[in-house]
Structure 1
Amino acid sequence: MRDTTTARRTTAAVWTAGVTVVLAGMPLLARDRLPDRLATHWGLNGETPDGSMPLWAAALVPALIWLVTAAAVTVPLMRAGPAARPLTTVVLLPLGIVLTGAQAAVLRANLDRADWHEARQPTSWVVAILVAAVLAAVAAWLLLARRRGASGGTTTPDEGTSALDIPEGRRLVWFSRTANPWLQLLAAAIGLVAVGALVALVGGVAAPGALWALFAGCGAGSLACAMFSSVQARVSERGLEVSFGPLGWPGRRWTPGDIDTARTEVRRPAEVGGWGYRLSGLGTTVMLRAGECLVIRPRGRRTDFAISIDDAERGAALLNTLRGKPPRG
């Protein structure tokens, strides 16, 4: 629980700092192509701007608004208890998208204009920003609901033995999840670079060729780190199901009949070649923290599949029990 809370706080801090840098940095990077004052407000009944700010204010005011709002959202939710803390993602993610998108739209409207009165209302960009923010909020909410459902509806056997005596007619399910906060932090940091490149691309503040390469490279790197920064394992009558990342994808599955043996084993990153999804002489290891791992030997294979996950002994015990039971209809 402590690792999860630390990872959540660290990710929120990185996201807050990154959005601040993007908001304040974009106008300054494009200052040679912007007028002395930037159009920042357009009337509801026309495309002509009716409000402006000097360049320094257009850079600092959105950043300050973001910092104050993020603090007002994060601090109460973090103090409210474990149940409320995940809501920080649901709130901060779309809010950051709205502000960075709005800043990019303002820059695009003012880019290469001699005077701020020449800027035109970026209606299409505003609509696209709002749609992206709504989709981000929905995705964050669905992810939160999925995690709560996975962690709240399972039971575990009481004894950590090599096999368990399950009463007739009773079904047991074991579930465990482990995350590496450092890999999550790396994914967030690289993802912020990708977001910054995309916003700069939308705002037209730099050459598109280099920005597309930066966005594609950092986006792929962030996705890879996020995908293998956490792992969830579930043992039930269907067998062992392992899924990766915040969305539970990709995943692997073995039925009880596909498994020859299940056991626990202590492994360390140096023994398997590092962190993440590793291939070594020991087989395949999902290494997120050093220590006890759930290890299975798939039927017909000479190598093992291991997951560094909490409560591995109970998972192995339940798997060994299920391997000796006929499947239910």
Structure 2
Amino acid sequence: MRDTTVAARTTAVVWTVGVTAVLAGMPLMVRGRLPDPLATHWGLGTGAPDGSMPLWAASLFPALIWLVTAGATLGVLLRDRTGSHHPWTAVTLLPTGIVLAGAQAALVRANLDRADWHEARQPTAWIVAILVAAVVAGVGAWFVATRRAADTAAAGEHASGVPALDIPDGRRVAWFSRTTNPWLRLVAAVTGLAAVGVLVAIVGGLADPGGLWAAFAGCAVAALSCALFSSVQARVSERGLEVSFGPLGRPARRWAPGDIDAARAEVRSPAQAGGWGYRVSGLGTTVMLRAGECLVIRPRGRRTEFAVSVDDAERGAALLNALRADPHRR
């Protein structure tokens, strides 16, 4: 829970600071190509602007709206000790930031290289695209945050008390554990924000898109890779062991109870595993997100082992061995 909370707070702070910089800095970066004042409102059905703001106001006003919204949301997140508010903060911060940053990019693009704000035309297509992106992002954020909260609750439920390895017939059992690396989450947030900033610059026409597409692709790939392998979940049930990665639980590796020769808990360090992340070394394959206790299995017919750094690994190994020894549960 603590790792998840720290990662959520860090990501929220990075996102807040980054969106603020984009909102305030975008019009100022191309102020030489913008009229002053800027067209900021268009009449319904006409496409002609009927409202304007000075350049400084168009730069600061959206940033202030964002800071008030994000500040209130962050206040709730920082006071939260249970993780129950994580889904709501994710759904508030992510879509709101996308809407404001996208609207600012559309506004700049509509006014770019216009001699007077009356010449700007309403960016209807961009507004629709921004709203669709915000809805998709909001739904995705809710799915990820609620799934994580459910998994954390399940982990707490199965971690309480002393496990009974003599499993009664007809009784369903499960064990769950999760590990998060906050530093990889931070790298994912920073590179993801950089990708958003580059995309906004391309959409807003702030720079030649030729060289920026490569920068966007590099930042996007780095953000996706770090996000996928910044967290790992291990689940033991009648189906065996499932180890999944990232907020969506994909990709994943699975072993049925009959496919495992033995399971145990072992303390390992990054030096032993060959570094951080998904490592292959003389010990076999190790998913190393933090030093300490690991759940280790030896797949049947294999000489090498598979290990994953998760808490409460001894309980998970004991349950997995109990399931492996009971042919009626395979």
Regarding TM over 0.5, the answer is yes
TM normalised by structure 1 equals: 0.94
Letter aligned with residue 88 of structure 2: L
Residue in 2 that maps onto 1:303 = 304
Do 1:260 and 1:297's aligned partners in 2 also have CA atoms closer than 8 Å? yes
Q: What percentage of aligned pairs have identical amino acids?
A: 71
Deviates more, 1:280-289 or 1:242-251: 280-289
2:22 pairs with 1:22: yes
Q: Decide whether the 8 Å contact of 1:78 with 1:85 is kept in 2.
A: no
Aligned ranges 1:166-177 → 2 under 5 Å = 166-177=167-178
Q: Which residue of 2 aligns with 1:187?
A: 188
Give me the whole-angstrom Cα distance separating, in 2, the residues matched to 1:151 and 1:124. Answer: 41
Amino acid at match of 1:18: G
Deviating beyond 6 angstroms after TM superposition, the runs of 4 or more aligned structure 1 residues are none
For 1:320, the equivalent position in structure 2 comes to: 321
Query: Are the aligned partners of 1:78 and 1:84 in contact in 2 as well (CA < 8 Å)?
Result: no
Report if aligned partners of 2:110, 2:122 keep a CA contact under 8 Å in 1.
Answer: yes
C-alpha separation in 2, matches of 1:277 and 1:328: 30
SS at match of 1:86: helix
Residue 262 of structure 1 corresponds to which residue in structure 2?
A: 263
Output the amino acid matched with 2:311: D
The match for 1:103 is 104
Q: 1:79-94 alignment to 2 at 5 Å?
A: 79-82=79-82, 83-94=84-95
Alpha-carbon distance in 1 for matches of 2:150, 2:295: 23
SS of the residue 2:286 aligns to: strand
Larger displacement relative to structure 2 (36-45 or 14-23): 36-45
Deviation at 1:265, TM superposition (A): 0.9
Write out per-residue CA displacement over residues 4-55 of structure 1, whole angstroms, 9 at most, x where no aligned residue: 2221111110000010111112112222322232111112242111122222
> 8 Å contact 2:178–2:233 — kept in the other structure?
yes
Give the Cα–Cα distance (whole angstroms) in 1 for the partners of residues 116 and 66 of structure 2. Answer: 27
- 1:230 matched to which residue of 2? 231
Secondary structure of the 1:3 match is helix
Moved more, 124-133 or 54-63: 54-63
How many Å apart are 1:207 and its aligned residue? 0.9
| Gaps in structure 2 of 5+ consecutive residues | none
Write the deviation string for residues 221-273 of structure 1: whole angstroms up to 9, x where unpaired: 00000000011111011000011000110000000111111111111112222
Shift of 1:77: 4.5
Q: Which moved more, 1:93-102 or 1:284-293?
A: 284-293
1:11-90 maps to which residues of 2 (within 5 A)?
11-82=11-82, 83-90=84-91
C-alpha contact 2:154 2:176 (8 A) present in aligned 1: no
Q: Aligned letter for 1:216? A: A
Task: Identify the range of structure 1 (74-83 vs 215-224) with the bigger mean alpha-carbon deviation.
Answer: 74-83
Cα drift, residue 159 of structure 1: 4.1
Distance in 1 (CA, whole Å) between partners of 2:154 and 2:177 is 12
Q: Is the 8 A contact 2:87 2:142 kept in 1?
A: no
SS in 2 for 1:170: coil
Please give the secondary structure, in 1, of the residue aligned with 2:177.
Answer: strand
Task: Name the CA distance, whole Å, in 1 between partners of 2:328 and 2:92.
Answer: 44
Match of 1:156 among 155, 158, 162: 158
Name the CA distance, whole Å, in 1 between partners of 2:234 and 2:106. Answer: 43
How big is the alpha-carbon RMSD for the aligned residues of Structure 1 and Structure 2?
A: 1.7
Counterpart contact for 2:86–2:145, Cα < 8 Å: no
Unaligned runs of 5+ in 1: none
